């Protein structure tokens, strides 16, 4: 089997045993980048020489007898919203084109400390605002299953790279579903950890009370290994939880759901859902019952108000966070010819540097925070957020985990929703509640839709710091499907 077809855990074992070097593994994946990325456009920046230098350093440390981490030498693609001192960090925006940060994000630093080899930075919706990666200021990324369709968003470059066997692992961020939704539509595993379980330091902020770094992988164990590698308390992030990382790797290695109470969210299975998605979800429910789980229906009535609440809270926070892009300190500067005031330069720079979706959300958020409207819009949305958290608390008194489809439809064609923001926002209908409450949630593949043969995702939601439950159930579903299909549920994406 080609090195690029192996899992992260398999690659790590091969390198640890001396059967293959980190340089060989890295070169194989760089060759795959050269072969596949012109078709899918997953990367904004690739630094082959730096990646090989990292791999050579890992090989030298291993040869010297140094004890290395469980993912040492494994290649990874890094979402271009985390600062990297040795590569540009653009957040998919023209306003940061070519910017090289003076520091690494905590997630970046921990990847390096774990010995992972960073191949490059992946494409995303500008400032992580979108569900299709069409909002990137540079180019859209394409779904490896069908190059005419989106790979989800905002972490579409990261999901496409993993689904296209360009890398076994990648990082993403999840603000309203930006890891789970792209994972679902590209047929891979994507995890949103508990909010505060992974550091936001050095993550270019979209909505600070929602943004959550998390892993992508082609199987549940690999995702757990990466989750463990970069998570944990960070004193540089004031919202970081000072608690041990849940035992996610142990849970992924021992999938057993016998006796587990699983709640099906009543509100996430009605009108607007593609029939093929519902069919695969019902298959997953039957599978869990066959494994000994006790499945019951659970009502979370406030979940139906999550989408409008989110699209007040997230834009409000982005309108505040993006005020830092003022053309004065770093990034793009337009019209600074010595005749214009700072305010004029700022306005010209923002007009040229921000894309349409970013401008839309800034305006929505500024309006929601404005005098006379704050209580009616932002304040009310925060009250709804509290009701959603209470619904989760009540549900988890009855069950151990909640499940739903990850997204109402499979991947949609590029351009189909570009002029319809509401249709685009509906892609995150099922994922947003977990962000508003801060819960852990994962998407795992559960088959292909009948209508189009495209991947469908099963979402598993757990309480705060119950991340290991997501991996336990996800790994059980994965193992059972593989047994049923006599091999991996989803083979290589056919478009490649």
Q: Report, as residue numbers or ranges, the catalytic residues.
A: 79, 154, 178
Interatomic CA distance for residues 478 and 187, integer angstroms: 12
Burial of 285 (0-12, 13-18, 19+ CB in 10 A): middle
Please name which of 311, 257, 267, 321 lies closest in space to residue 289, comparing C-alpha atoms: 257
Element (DSSP H or E) covering residue 483: helix 467-485
Distances (CA, A) of 304 to 268, 298, 314, 388, 451: 9, 14, 17, 9, 27
> Could you write out the DSSP letters of every residue in 322-387?
GGG--SSSSS---S-SSSS-HHHHHHHHHHHHS-HHHHHHHHHHHHHHSTTTTIIIIIHHHHHHHH
CA distance 44 to 120: 8
Using CA atoms in the order 384, 389, 394, 398, what is the torsion angle rounded to 10 degrees?
130
Contacts of 252 by beta carbon, 8 Å cutoff, 6+ apart: 220, 221, 223, 224, 225, 471, 472, 474, 475
Residue 214, helix vs strand vs coil? strand
Structural contact between residues 90 and 44, judged by C-beta atoms closer than 8 angstroms: yes
The number of beta carbons lying within 10 Å of the beta carbon of residue 455 is: 26
């Amino acid at each position: 089997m080609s090195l690029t077809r192996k899992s992260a855990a398999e690659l790590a074992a091969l390198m640890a045993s001396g059967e293959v070097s980190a340089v060989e593994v890295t070169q194989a994946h760089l060759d795959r980048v050269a072969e596949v990325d012109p078709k899918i456009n997953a990367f904004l920046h690739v630094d082959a020489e730096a990646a090989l230098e990292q791999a050579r350093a890992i090989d030298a440390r291993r040869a010297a007898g140094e004890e290395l981490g469980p993912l040492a030498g494994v290649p990874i693609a890094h979402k271009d919203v985390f600062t990297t001192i040795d590569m540009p960090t653009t957040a998919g925006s023209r306003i940061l084109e070519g910017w090289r940060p003076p520091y690494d994000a905590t997630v970046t630093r921990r990847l390096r400390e774990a010995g992972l080899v960073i191949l490059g930075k992946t494409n995303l919706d500008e400032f992580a605002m979108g569900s299709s990666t069409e909002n990137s200021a540079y180019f859209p990324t394409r779904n490896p299953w069908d190059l005419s369709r989106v790979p989800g968003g905002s972490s579409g470059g990261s999901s496409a790279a993993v689904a296209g066997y360009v890398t076994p692992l990648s990082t993403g961020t999840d603000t309203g579903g930006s890891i789970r939704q792209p994972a679902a539509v590209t047929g891979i595993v994507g995890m949103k950890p508990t909010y505060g379980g992974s550091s936001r330091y050095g993550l270019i902020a979209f909505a600070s009370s929602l943004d959550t770094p998390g892993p992508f992988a082609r199987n549940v164990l690999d995702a757990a290994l990466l989750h463990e590698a970069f998570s944990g308390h960070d004193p540089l992030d004031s919202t970081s939880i000072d608690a041990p990382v849940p035992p996610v790797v142990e849970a992924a290695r021992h999938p057993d759901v016998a006796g587990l109470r699983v709640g099906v969210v009543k509100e996430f299975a009605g009108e607007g859902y593609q029939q093929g998605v519902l069919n695969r979800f019902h298959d997953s429910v039957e599978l869990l019952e066959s494994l000994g789980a006790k499945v019951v229906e659970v009502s979370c009535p406030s979940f139906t108000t999550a989408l409008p609440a989110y699209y007040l809270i997230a834009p409000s926070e982005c309108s505040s966070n993006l005020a830092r892009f003022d053309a004065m300190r770093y990034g793009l500067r337009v019209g600074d010819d010595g005749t214009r005031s700072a305010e004029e330069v700022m306005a010209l720079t923002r007009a040229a540097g921000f894309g349409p979706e970013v401008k839309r959300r800034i305006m929505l958020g500024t309006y929601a925070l404005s005098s006379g409207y704050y209580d009616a819009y932002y304040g009310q949305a925060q009250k709804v957020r509290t009701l959603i958290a209470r619904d989760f608390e009540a549900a988890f008194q009855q069950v151990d985990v909640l499940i739903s489809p990850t997204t109402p439809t499979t991947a949609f064609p590029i351009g189909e929703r570009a002029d319809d923001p509401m249709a685009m926002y509906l892609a995150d209908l099922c994922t947003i509640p977990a962000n508003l409450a801060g819960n852990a949630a994962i998407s795992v593949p559960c088959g292909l839709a009948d209508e189009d043969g495209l991947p469908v995702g099963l979402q598993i939601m757990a309480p705060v710091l119950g991340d290991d439950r997501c991996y336990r159930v996800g790994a059980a579903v994965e193992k059972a499907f593989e047994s049923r299909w006599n091999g991996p549920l989803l083979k290589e994406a056919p478009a490649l």
